[in-house]
Amino acid sequence: KMNVESFNLDHTKVKAPYVRLAGVTVGQHGDEITKYDMRICQPNQDHMAMPGLHSLEHLMAEMSRNHTDKVVDISPMGCQTGFYWAMINHDDYEGILTLIEKTLEDVLEASEVPACNEMQCGWAASHSLEGAKDIARGFLAKRDEWAQVFG
């Protein structure tokens, strides 16, 4: 039995880029954590280079929270093909698409990567603002495909 949701996803059947609801966890008081799979690169065909991925993580971490207080965490997948967005009490698929769109538009306007220094980051040398913007630009260019998960 496979308890990890992603291990049950057939990665040969998905068609990046997309945004997918990957799970809902309900706490004992009824609060809900919704987890979204923001898939940027086609699995096993492409992946993000670490410096751009890392800077995009920092940029989205900060800029998404300027739009909402519902972000729990935005973290990269180890396969470097996308990010997970964990949200609290935000069961609104169209809303997450709009939030991602606004956040990435902010990324394109950024003049520096937040917190890329040795006090605030665990690998401060591994960053690329231009790499992050290239990823954001490419994902935004396919906005009309985000809601289609399978090919």
**Contacting positions for ligand HCS (CB under 6 A):** 57-58, 61, 73-75
Number of Cα atoms under 13 Å in the Cβ half of residue 29: 3
Closest residue by beta carbon to ligand HCS: 61
How far apart, in whole angstroms, are the C-alpha atoms of residue 58 and residue 68?
A: 16
Residues 6+ apart with CB under 8 A from 65: 71
What minimum distance in Å lies between the beta carbon of 73 and ligand HCS? Answer: 5
What minimum distance in Å lies between the beta carbon of 69 and ligand HCS? Answer: 13
What minimum distance in Å lies between the beta carbon of 88 and ligand HCS? Answer: 13
Cβ proximity to ligand HCS, 25 vs 75, nearer residue:
75
Cβ proximity to ligand HCS, 54 vs 133, nearer residue:
54
72 burial type by CB count under 10 A (0-12 exposed, 13-18 middle, 19+ buried): middle
Cβ proximity to ligand HCS, 16 vs 56, nearer residue:
56
